Structure 1
Amino acid sequence: MISTAPDFEALLIHLKESRGFDFTGYKRSSLIRRVDRRMAQVGLSDYAEYQDFLQVHPDEFTALFNTILINVTGFFRDPDAWDYLRSDILKPILATRPGNAPIRVWSAGCASGEEAYTLAIVLAEALGVEEFRERVKIYATDVDEEQLTEARQAGYTEQQIAAVPAELVPKYFEQSAGKYLFRKDLRRSVIFGRNDLVQDAPISRIDLLTCRNTLMYFNAETQAKILTRFHFALSEGGILFLGRAEMLLSHGGIFTPVDLKRRVFRRVPRLHQQSGAVFAEALPTVQPPVGGLDELRNEAFAASPVAQLGLTSDGVVALANTRLEKLFGVSSRDIGRPFRDLDLSYRPVELRRYIEQAQIERRSMRVTDVEYLRGGELIHLEVQVSPLTGTDGSLLGVNLIFNDVTASRRLQDDLEHAHQQLEAAYEELQSTNEELETTNEELQSTVEELETTNEELQSTNEELETMNEELQSTNDELQTINDQLRISTAQLDDANAFLETVLTSLKAGVVVVDHNLRIRVWNDRAEDLWGLRSDEVVGQHFLNLDIGLPFDQLRPLLRGILTEAAVPAEVTVEAVNRRGRAVTVRVVCTPLTGPNTGPESGGAIIVMEAEQTGV
């Protein structure tokens, strides 16, 4: 994608109008690369589509700005530069300031605040904590509100403060909830606020301005604009502290290097031109008149290396020198002719209107950038039209001077070309340097992201290990319960087998019913007595069986046993067994109760014993 793509420029305008972020001054190569990266993450490849996506998903602005504004910073970044600033810059400044004079510092592009708090530590060490609180104000600004919010909280991890000297950590940080918080009493001297270096007004009367690795994101034109604002912001002799990737080789008029290696510069005061004229000596006294002046003037005029033409007030040629004849062919033969009849009056440039204007306004006129083709050679001229007045102020005529500026024009063109080449080479060098620095910061950002991801994976792994241990423990518990269930099942099977043996061994028919009189147990003697197998009757209503028992006599007995807390009851009835023979049956009903069941829920045990059967 090219940097001049209309859709991309439209996207930048949309960001400026909708969110107030002006990225139009940023270098297009870096800017396009970062925007393309974010678009790839959301699965888009067209700038117009991505602009629509931003309108539908407002949260995407935050992700995009975090991608564009890398916000890589740290405490005491480039320690050698900070040591130099503390020993060679701040100490002399503080030594020359009155004891109660305020000290104003601006940290431009402060990101998450590490640089601003580094300044606070350095100044507090130089002044002492009490004097720091009374005298110092540090204005920390950035265009990213999210980063400013993080900076105001002033909480950093152990890894983030690793570059802070060990002896300074307990002095300036307090541990809380796993983070290191910058001292609250010193934090009041650090004021955070949003400031767009391209659009917003600069802070004034600043003694020290730090803007490290921020200018490199902007193009040359925007850099010049920002540096002009920095010059306005700084006090007389103020210090500008830049990052390793930034130079000010083309801005020597407003900043001069103090230490180029460490990127420390000093503000250059602007010079004001003096008005009026200054005379070095008195004007000379009037000398006696010199003879032969007319001839001398004529010869001097003719020998002048500059082409000249003199006209009378009514436009007649009065004077023409040798250089004019060589240049335009106008000679003494043309003296007395009206100027308007000469080719020179309109070629190479229309001169009559300038002559008329000079006569009317009584002031010199200058015609620049005149091109004249003579013998196949292009000559650049500058024409000066000057009115000639007498001692009484009357108009005598007009003098035209034709200056050949071809050589100087060529030198100027060569100089501009050389300057453009130098500027282009510098831009390429600076761009390469900035790209390398940006790549380094991106790599550092990637390393930090990978470290964060590694920590998250390690945390997830620990959680999985904990879950695995919990699952293993649960599995062991389930295994124990299963073993207990198998033991209980075996015991239950033994109990059922024993109960089955008991019921089989009884000589009487035994029926167990629930509280609804549905049969639960039917032993072999009951099957022999009435002719129905256990699998035929279990689950059936006892009173609905088709057997020889007189249920109308048994029903009251059974109902009483199930609905009342009664004692066992007994009745003798006449019945017909499975062979169709009359038998006398003694029926004993006993409530089926247990420790957790009542008469209604337990059911009943019915024992049927035939006292006499037919043969």
Structure 2
Amino acid sequence: MQSIRPDQAPQPSAIIGIGCSAGGLEALEALVAGITPGLGVALVIVQHLAPDSASILPELLASHTRLAVHEAGHGTPILPECIYVIPPNKTLSFDHGCLYLSTPPAGLRLPIDRLFHTLAHGLGRRSMAVILSGMGKDGMLGLKEIKACGGLSYAQDPLTARADSMPRSAIDLGVVDFVASPQRLASLLLEQCSHPAAPLALPAPQAAIREIISLLQQHTGNDFSHYKPNTLNRRIERRMTLLQLDSIAAYAEHFRGNLQERDLLLKELLIGVTRFFRDTAMWDYLRDMAMPALFAQYPAGKALRAWVPACSSGEEAYSLAILFREALLLHQPAGQFSLQIYATDLDSDAIQHARRGVYAGSIAADVGAARLQQYFVAEGDHVRVSKDIRDMIVFATQNIISDPPFTRLDILSCRNLMIYLDSVLQEQLLPLFHYALCAGGILVLGSAETIGRFSTLFVPLDKKNRIFSRNDEASSSRMLELPLRTASCLLPLIEETMPDYRKSLEYQTDQLIQQNYAPAGVLINNDGDILYISGRVGRYLEPAAGKVNVNIYAMAREGLASALHTAIQQVQSGVEMVQLHDLQVDVFGTPHSFHLTVQHIRQPEALQGRLLVVFTEAPPAKTRSRRRTSASERELMLERELEQSRKLLRSMQEDMQIALEEMKSGNEELQATNEELTTSREELQSLNEELQTINAELQAKLDDLTWERNDMNNLLNSTEIATVFLDGDMRLRRFTSHATALFKFIPGDIGRPLSDIRSELDYPLLLDDAAKVLHTGVFEEKRVYSRHGRWYRVRIMPYRRLDNVIDGIVITFIDTTEIASLEARLQQQME
């Protein structure tokens, strides 16, 4: 391909990245066949290839398209009307109009994600990405980047894909704009490339934009008027491109009458681009420097609090939890430390995803093998955050601009949110962050964010990584505006869109207790885990020493555990309600009498299946009768039986705990085995994809060779020249149909020596001459007579391979009988 300087190369109108894997060749051929020249687009194809095998994909695609097909090289400028294909064992990236090759990293390879990521950040809204047939989830995160940067995303309909894992994963993530067959995808791409959206002309459409913002606020309750205009305009432009609308006025009219479009625009505005341990240097500093300094402030230990606003799908919050565990192991502070993380976001769907804690196995590239094994549990193609990490985080939907903040924080990580907000909101948030942090608290911002004119509120710890410490001497009270949802224009909307608090678990529990019991009580599940506490239960329950445990059995005070266990077991066995009277519990050496009630909840429906435990304080001792029975010996016997029952119950509980620990140990072994099997499965899947790719290419090559062989057979037979092919040992390799008139050939003779086959020629030195030609490489030509009375011109030539090596003999027999007869008649006339 001709060498062209990048600054001299014509620029494509759009660049379409295409990713595929197993079963993708057929889809690729159908897609490129539908891309017609004339629009100035370029295609860049990444297919999972075997690293040690040469690829013939460019040759295969060239026969299905009128665009020029090239194998990508390092520094190759991307030209319009061209297709570029990734070479084997390489990763392909885009930068400033050129393609660059690099060696793929060890471990999980995600070349499609890599290409899409660089296209998204290099081209923005001029980028397009397509996911075709393939196994695994490569390309899913790359499509998310494409969409976040304003580009368009496409995926093959899984029903038309030979391997549907890749397109289905992208579709399930919600980052695909169009889903169709490969042929239809080509038409959609051409439609978008031939109908680019008109850029927003400023200041003309400001009235339309204000109307869109107002309608969006009425519909969702969220005010986007202080989003940066470029961000807002880019998202609106993207919707216009998808709808093929030419003006902002046309989009405003569509937006005015379409409620679904308001939801779609909201989703566009809330797209979060995040991943685990994004910006590695920042996390390293936080673990190695900032965390030890925070530990040093509290020598006796502390229950630390952290807030991660705009957490998106949770990767940032889980990264912080994992990093805190690593910091504890690395620095081993003297005091006891725990961390409670509050992670919030405006997008309720993203919060639901974060709560599940399930992510694609491709996060291994960001997390690393060691962290993946220690803090995640494999579940097929996905991984789930381990329970101890998940329990450190509370996820909630929150609007950071209009909802009250969390306070008394030790860490506040708000990264890459303020880059989307204008200066008005930024000047509200930074004083708010100062107010929310404790003395010496840590503030973490994104790499492109600064504290601006609020340098008096925060002291930089690491300017490069945007890590700050709260300045305790400065006050933010004068600049502080606490966000509260009190705007009168939003109240009707809130009543319509916010969930009814009367349906909540907390409200219904309180109502049930207040209506039926009034005293202190707790709501538990069948395992004894406390779901809700009403009233003061400190006399009856206390936190157990060690790791936080909110199980009622672990928190029961001395004197309560046995009775509590008995009552709960009876209710679980079918008894509707169990009441135990005149129980005693020891509180710091002072006995307190109470009544215990355990009830199985049937109504309301939201609480079905749970148990209600109510503690009722007994009347003071002076008001109760203290009559003694005369049968004191009987009382003593009953007390002894009760003590024996308690010991037996305690022994049973210990045995159960041992059994649980053994089950836990066995579960850990099974988990380790499962992880090994998952790793092997991933390796086999990768190998299977490579084999399928090679098989598809070989099948295409075999089809080409079949046609070439058919062409050669037809050519040889059409010449009516008898031809015999021999190998180096003078064994028959093949023959034409006309050769059967001279030799008694049958198909089974292939591989037999020519000397074993009867000939009609009067040519006893045929094999000797053939051996001579094989040895010297010089052809021989003779005129011989056949037993049928016909003359033949025999030509013996060496058989040369493409690498110019002699590997046999080719013998042709041309019938010259008519020429010989003519020569004889001429000779007679001359005499």
TM (normalized to structure 2)? 0.32
Q: Which has the larger radius of gyration?
A: 1
TM (normalized to structure 1)? 0.42
